[in-house]
């Protein structure tokens, strides 16, 4: 069994942003030498997540609007700690923090329209994602 771990670093321009990382993750799978296995993509910050969906601008905007309705910027108990990002924690919870993706024949085995996104809800500072590939 092989394993390979790398980190992708981000500093988004906006506080909320979806960044397509599919090509980067695919290159890491190729670099790993794993032919059959799994690829874990996990946001390492409690205000960011990983989303697998279509690279379509309307859908991405719909998603950001949807999470804003469910967890709007506002006054949260978390703000009593001196933070102002309670909504970002909730948005990350709605999205989830990671995805496990199949690796088949040395490549990500995604559906025809599936892409992998890093979702930032409290950006404009340095953050990272861990990519761990395991298999044969």
Question: Average model confidence (pLDDT) for the chain?
Answer: 96
Domain 2-73+84-135 classified CATH 3.40.50.10310?
no
88: which strand partners?
A: none
Residue 98 CA to residue 79 CA, distance in Å, equals: 25
Q: Report domain extents, the chain.
A: 2-73+84-135
Predicted confidence (pLDDT) at residue 10 exceeds the cutoff of 90:
no
CA 102 to chain centre: 16
For residue 121, what pLDDT band results from cuts at 50, 70 and 90? very high
Beta strands at 127-135 and 36-43: parallel, antiparallel or unpaired: antiparallel
CA 20 to chain centre: 9
Res 86: pLDDT: 95
Predicted confidence (pLDDT) at residue 102 exceeds the cutoff of 90:
yes
Residue 86 CA to residue 78 CA, distance in Å, equals: 6
Summarised one tens digit per residue, pLDDT across range 45-86 is: 999 999 999 999 999 999 999 999 999 999 999 999 999 999
Residue 86 CA to residue 80 CA, distance in Å, equals: 10
Res 50: pLDDT: 98
- Residues 6 or more apart whose CB falls under 8 angstroms from that of 93 comprise none
**Stretch 90-102: mean pLDDT, rounded?**
96
pTM: 0.94
**Stretch 98-127: mean pLDDT, rounded?**
97
DSSP E strands, 33-124: 36-43, 48-54, 98-104, 107-108, 114-120
Pseudo-torsion of CA 12, 49, 85, 45, nearest 10°?
A: -80
Res 64: pLDDT: 96
């Amino acid at each position: 069994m092989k394993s390979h771990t790398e980190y992708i670093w981000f500093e988004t321009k906006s506080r909320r942003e979806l960044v397509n990382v599919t090509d980067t993750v695919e290159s890491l799978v190729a670099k790993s030498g794993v032919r059959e296995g799994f690829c874990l993509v996990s946001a390492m910050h409690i205000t960011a997540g990983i989303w697998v969906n279509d690279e379509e601008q309307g859908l991405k905007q719909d998603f950001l609007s949807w999470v804003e309705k469910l967890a709007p910027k506002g006054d949260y108990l978390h703000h009593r700690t001196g933070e102002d990002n309670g909504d970002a924690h909730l948005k990350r919870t709605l999205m989830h923090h990671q995805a496990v993706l199949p690796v088949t024949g040395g490549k990500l085995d995604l559906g025809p329209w599936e892409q992998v996104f890093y979702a930032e809800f409290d950006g404009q500072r340095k953050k990272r994602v861990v990519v761990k590939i395991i298999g044969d």
